[in-house]
Amino acid sequence: GQSLEQPSEVTAVEGAIVQINCTYQTSGFYGLSWYQQHDGGAPTFLSYNALDGLEETGRFSSFLSRSDSYGYLLLQELQMKDSASYFCAVRKLSGNTPLVFGKGTRLSVIA
């Protein structure tokens, strides 16, 4: 089976930096992804890490350590619109296999 652990809630101040951690246990591993979901909306893709290291996309960065079964999403220069739920997700295999999501971290950005 697969399980992913991430904090349930995080609060941060506008303009600050926040890190959302994710640890996973899977029988197979084909990359760690991060998705953002605003209330009532669909998840949207943020990042994907297949190999160890840091991937940067604008204000968002994602890190993976496969040996530690650990990753994180880093959000910089927080904006109010970043208030949303953030999910880490893994796939066991390549090809048409589904994403398995963590329970999600609800980020609240305050002024």
Partner 1 sequence: GAVVSQHPSWVICKSGTSVKIECRSLDFQATTMFWYRQFPKQSLMLMATSNEGSKATYEQGVEKDKFLINHASLTLSTLTVTSAHPEDSSFYICSAFGQGGTEAFFGQGTRLTVV
Cβ of residue 57: shortest distance to partner 1, in angstroms? 12
d(CA 4, CA 98): 15
Among 43, 63, 75, 86, binds partner 1 (CB under 8 A): 43
d(CA 37, CA 44): 6
Q: What are phi and psi of 80, to 5 degrees?
A: -55, -35
Nearer to partner 1, 25 or 94 (CB): 94
Among 14-22, 34-42, 67-75, 76-84, the segment contacting partner 1 (CB under 8 A): 34-42
